[in-house]
Amino acid sequence: MAMAITSLTLSACTSQPQVQATQSATERQLVLAHADDATSTAVATLYQQMLESVGVKAKLGEANANPVAEVIAGKADIVVAGSTSLLEELEKTPENKQDSHTPPATGLSPQSSQSAGTATGRDKNLTADQTLKALRSLKIGELALLDSTEAHRDGVLITTASISAAKNINNLAQLPEYCSDLEFGVPEEFSASLSAELETTYSCIPARVLPVTPNDKAPVQELITNRVQVLGITSESAAIVDNGLVRLQDSEGLFSPQTLLPLITTNELGQDAIDAINKVSHALKQDDLIELNRAVTGQDSLPVEIAAADWLLERNLVGK
């Protein structure tokens, strides 16, 4: 039986709803859904370890291409996902199908891999704030959205510093003049939609769009070896800064916002779990997400369990 969840709107100083459970303690093990990339797994591990630290039994489920759908289907209890990914999946539910806020939008986040697509026919993606507002307005039944983080996994296009300097480009709006000379690398599931969106939004038709397989150990290898000159990746990748690469600014909203926030079931989930989840969300900033990505990727990466434990300890969220 699902417990009652009360969502109380706070004062005008905050846009976050306060979710209250009618039972204090969680009395069963919770399952956290996640994608199979290092960042998604590490973020899920942060929340799993925080829950364990307050006495709530929790474990990571098997990696899944669409972890949001796992929670909606009742196969998992918690997922921390991008706001657009959550919006698109929740709008597919029967109670929301007639009131869709936005057509499918372009994204590069692993959590949007099942729903990303061309956004042709709309003026622009929703902003980050508009996306969160649209999410909060949905009917989600026995699910609940908890407080959002200040971290995001937006799609970005990057290039090398030498190409940026030689062609004087730092914004996607400057690309049209050079697109026909550049080869783009993007994850295969986004290649068709991104090609269409580049042409529609920026009048950019690349020489070629090559499918690349995301690699946590060498996320920008294709770019730094000049196999491609522009690479699609997500914004929390520490490899962007660590390799001196240039993020091309997206002034026209090519990519959908992906602010991270938790979606939970309300089935036998107590206030102890809600409070623990919100504590992590309140602490998680964009710089933290980049540092976490750095810790779990690359040649000297740490196991996600150690990286998560270190982060929680450093922020005094758990005791020694």
Q: Residue 264 belongs to a domain with what CATH number?
A: 3.40.190.10
CB 254 within 8 A of CB 172: yes
Q: What local confidence, expressed as pLDDT, does residue 213 receive?
A: 87
Q: In this structure, is residue 74 part of a structural domain?
A: yes
Are 102 and 228 in a shared domain?
A: no
SS3 category, 309: helix
- What mean pLDDT is reported for the chain? 88
- How confident is the model over 234-253, as pLDDT tens digits? 999 999 999 999 999 999 99
**In which band, very low, low, confident or very high, does the pLDDT at 110 lie, cut at 50, 70 and 90?**
low
CB 269 within 8 A of CB 26: yes
Are 146 and 283 in a shared domain?
A: yes
- Of the candidates 248, 267, 282, which is a domain's last residue? 248
In 3D space, the residue among 59, 67, 235, 253 whose CA is nearest the CA of residue 158 turns out to be 235
Tell me: pLDDT of 10 over 50. no
Q: What local confidence, expressed as pLDDT, does residue 114 receive?
A: 37
Are 30 and 144 in a shared domain?
A: yes
Are 144 and 283 in a shared domain?
A: yes
Q: In this structure, is residue 163 part of a structural domain?
A: yes
Q: Of 42-56, 170-184, 205-219, 263-277, which range is least confident?
A: 205-219
Are 146 and 267 in a shared domain?
A: yes
Are 43 and 177 in a shared domain?
A: no
Q: In this structure, is residue 319 part of a structural domain?
A: no
CA-based max dimension of the chain: 62
Q: Which residues pair with 165 in a beta bridge?
A: none
- How confident is the model over 167-211, as pLDDT tens digits? 999 999 999 999 999 999 998 878 778 889 999 999 999 999 999
Tell me: pLDDT of 300 over 50. yes
Are 165 and 242 in a shared domain?
A: yes
Q: In this structure, is residue 143 part of a structural domain?
A: yes
CA distances from 18 to 22, 217, 271, 275, 318 (A): 13, 39, 11, 10, 23
From CA 15, how far away is CA 297, in angstroms rounded?
34
Are 93 and 147 in a shared domain?
A: yes
- Of the candidates 248, 266, 282, which is a domain's last residue? 248
How many domains does the chain contain in total? 2
Are 9 and 145 in a shared domain?
A: yes
Q: What local confidence, expressed as pLDDT, does residue 21 receive?
A: 77
Tell me: pLDDT of 17 over 90. no
pLDDT average, residue stretch 148-164: 97
Are 74 and 10 in a shared domain?
A: yes
Owning domain of residue 14: 5-152+258-314
In 3D space, the residue among 260, 262, 284 whose CA is nearest the CA of residue 33 turns out to be 262
Q: In this structure, is residue 253 part of a structural domain?
A: no
Q: In this structure, is residue 272 part of a structural domain?
A: yes
Establish how many alpha carbons lie within 13 A of residue 159's alpha carbon, considering only the half-sphere containing its beta carbon: 23
DSSP state at residue 211: E
Are 51 and 122 in a shared domain?
A: yes
Are 98 and 12 in a shared domain?
A: yes
Q: In this structure, is residue 307 part of a structural domain?
A: yes
- The CATH code of the domain that includes 181 is 3.40.190.120
- Of the candidates 192, 217, 248, which is a domain's last residue? 248
Sign, Cα dihedral of 305, 264, 8, 153 = positive
Q: In this structure, is residue 161 part of a structural domain?
A: yes
Q: Of 4-13, 45-54, 120-129, which range is least confident?
A: 4-13
